[in-house]
Structure 1
Amino acid sequence: MRTTNFILGLAVLAGCGGSPALTSFDNELAQARTNWAARNLRSYSFTVSKSCFCPVEYTRPATITVRDGVAVDAPVHLAAYSTIDKVLDALEAAHKSKPDVLEVDFTADGWPRTLRVDPSAALADEEYYLTISNLTSL
């Protein structure tokens, strides 16, 4: 189990051409994707719970079933997190948006157990948390 904790305003830029350097988050996300792909798990279920300043029906835990890599029963409000690949894509997008806080706890198998995103520490109520549990092969 690894925890990644970033204050992205401290990101280091590479010397050549001002391109952003690969951060340890980029490397850890790439490793998570590799570990997840190595499982070759195409049919599985998992429980996802989102905590945010949003309607209560959006914060109820939901069990999602994935068959052959496609979610078959994900709630619409969790579409961005309806497969582990989509969760990893959402993490990459969150990272690219340069939030003030991005914390992720990856399992050894490459799926994020918990994540916390706070786009702006100066704003209230836009941060969110996601918990993924009970991942089971089908």
Structure 2
Amino acid sequence: VEEGMSVMREETPGPILALAPFKEAEEAVELANSTSFGLHVSIWTGDPAKAAKLAEEGRAGTVIINDVIFTLAQVECPWGGVGGSGFGRVHGEPGLLETCYLKHISYDGGARKRMPWWFPYDDRYRRLMTLHLEGKSGSFISRWREVFKR
């Protein structure tokens, strides 16, 4: 394909393989990174160091070395794109987290005493912070007794 063709400018659902000639691998990375999409990169080489370098330079959500699309079938491998292909992740822990809505709710029923770290700070809080920052030796219990002594 040539650089100006729509297959090089538009995200096209597969199965389409766009092949473009290049002299140096860095030229191929530059061409791939020049698009607004970055779903998948497949690098074929017998040189592991070169593969690692190209994988780091490529802007894509998935990079596979010496294979094509096995990650889509491997549910433990996160899969998704960046840029115009950036729709989040599926599979793996990142894919699971995409389905989660995390919320922290802290409730004080009003029954407990004022905590030492609440404003306004007093001498007890200053002792607590001093002990913490100085790393005072002694047992945990003795340090807390020191904090709450009056």
Same structural fold, with TM-score higher than 0.5 when normalized by the shorter chain? no
TM-score using structure 2 length: 0.25
RCO comparison, higher one (Cα < 8 Å, 6+):
1
TM-score using structure 1 length: 0.26
